[in-house]
């Protein structure tokens, strides 16, 4: 199976600090800021972002078997099958750069995926002696509905480096051009208005119960994702620091 765009995060990067972060799950509806915050955690703690959406989009762009299976489903704003996504995640998490921890962005998003993740973390495949074997820290970003719509419709991203922009909240210095590498920014195929509603409905119906599951098991921490990006980041860092204190 073709791997993710971020499987190039090198082992040397993971060796720069001895800090173990363990698994971090970022939950939240489309546009909540999961990708934005995952990149900041990645830069701060030097652990990889594992974005199922990014991996799937990469596979669609590459025309792999996985991409061909996922393409139409994603274009409709529905969820790709649990079997395909779980196997994709398994292959990513066994990479050496995940040993100190990783940030799951967009996974799990069904009850079946959450159960699968718990079982995987319990598996001997992972070294039981390491703190990364701990249950994941689950952080949910809560954002007002109208704010979500503005964020999704205003999102632009760089096809080269993956940096995320927003025409309302985080514009590029030069309109539609990436500040970092000069690439022309693109709008995601599923950020069209007619696809946004099904995506939000999928979150409500299939992913909200995942948050309830983590809440019942005492693992859910909610963050007010309506706040400016830097404030949200500061709160997430506090949560991670407190968790490991």
Which residues are part of the catalytic machinery? 34, 109, 155, 188, 199
Choose one: 5-13, 78-86, 125-133, 208-216; the region binding ligand AP5 (CB under 6 A). 78-86
92 binding ligand AP5? (CB under 6 A): no
Ordered DSSP codes for 74-107: HHTTPPPPHHHHHHHHHHHHTSGGGTTEEEEES-
Q: How far apart are CA 19 and CA 208, in angstroms?
A: 31
109 binding ligand AP5? (CB under 6 A): yes
CB of 45 or CB of 203, closer to ligand AP5: 203
165-184: contacts with ligand AP5 (CB under 6 A): 165-166, 169-170
Q: How many Å separate Cα 59 from the centre of its chain?
A: 16
Q: How far apart are CA 93 and CA 109, in angstroms?
A: 17
Per the CB < 8 A criterion, the answer to whether 119 and 134 are in contact is no
Length of the chain, in residues: 245
Per the CB < 8 A criterion, the answer to whether 86 and 116 are in contact is yes
Considering the complex, what minimum distance in angstroms separates the CB of residue 129 from ligand AP5? Answer: 29
229 binding ligand AP5? (CB under 6 A): yes
Considering the complex, what minimum distance in angstroms separates the CB of residue 13 from ligand AP5? Answer: 21
136 binding ligand AP5? (CB under 6 A): no
Considering the complex, what minimum distance in angstroms separates the CB of residue 114 from ligand AP5? Answer: 10
Q: How far apart are CA 18 and CA 131, in angstroms?
A: 12
67 binding ligand AP5? (CB under 6 A): no
Choose one: 60-68, 132-140, 213-221, 227-235; the region binding ligand AP5 (CB under 6 A). 227-235
Q: How far apart are CA 68 and CA 50, in angstroms?
A: 20
Using CB under 6 A, pick the residue from 77, 101, 114, 117 that binds ligand AP5.
77
Cα-based torsion angle of the residue sequence 210, 24, 165, 194 in order, rounded to the nearest 10 degrees: -20
Per the CB < 8 A criterion, the answer to whether 189 and 197 are in contact is no
Using CB under 6 A, pick the residue from 137, 138, 223, 232 that binds ligand AP5.
232
Q: How far apart are CA 101 and CA 14, in angstroms?
A: 9
228 binding ligand AP5? (CB under 6 A): yes
74 binding ligand AP5? (CB under 6 A): yes
Considering the complex, what minimum distance in angstroms separates the CB of residue 18 from ligand AP5? Answer: 29
Per the CB < 8 A criterion, the answer to whether 154 and 193 are in contact is no
Considering the complex, what minimum distance in angstroms separates the CB of residue 226 from ligand AP5? Answer: 7
Which residues lie near ligand AP5 (CB under 6 A)? 28, 30-36, 52-53, 56, 73-74, 77-80, 85, 106-107, 109, 113, 151-152, 154-155, 164-166, 169-170, 190, 199, 228-229, 232
């Amino acid at each position: 199976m073709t791997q993710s765009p971020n499987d190039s995060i090198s082992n040397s990067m993971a060796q720069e600090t001895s800090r173990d972060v363990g698994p971090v799950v970022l939950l939240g509806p489309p546009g909540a800021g999961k990708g934005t915050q995952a990149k900041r955690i990645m830069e701060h703690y030097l652990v990889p972002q594992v974005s199922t959406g990014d991996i799937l989009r990469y596979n669609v762009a590459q025309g792999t078997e996985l991409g061909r299976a996922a393409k139409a489903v994603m274009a409709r704003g529905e969820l790709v099958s649990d079997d395909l996504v779980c196997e994709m995640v398994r292959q990513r998490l066994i990479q050496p750069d995940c040993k100190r921890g990783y940030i799951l962005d967009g996974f799990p998003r069904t009850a079946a995926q959450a159960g699968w993740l718990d079982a995987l973390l319990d598996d001997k495949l992972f070294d039981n002696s390491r703190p990364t074997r701990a249950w994941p820290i689950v952080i949910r970003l809560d954002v007002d509905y109208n704010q979500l719509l503005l964020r999704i419709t205003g999102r632009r991203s760089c096809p080269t480096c993956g940096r995320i922009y927003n025409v309302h909240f985080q514009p590029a210095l030069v309109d539609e051009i990436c500040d970092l590498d000069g690439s022309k920014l693109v709008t995601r195929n599923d950020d069209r208005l007619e696809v946004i509603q099904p995506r939000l409905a999928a979150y409500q119906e299939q992913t909200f119960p995942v948050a309830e599951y983590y809440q019942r098991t005492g693992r859910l921490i909610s963050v007010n994702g309506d706040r400016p990006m830097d404030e949200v980041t500061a709160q997430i860092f506090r949560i991670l620091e407190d968790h490991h204190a």
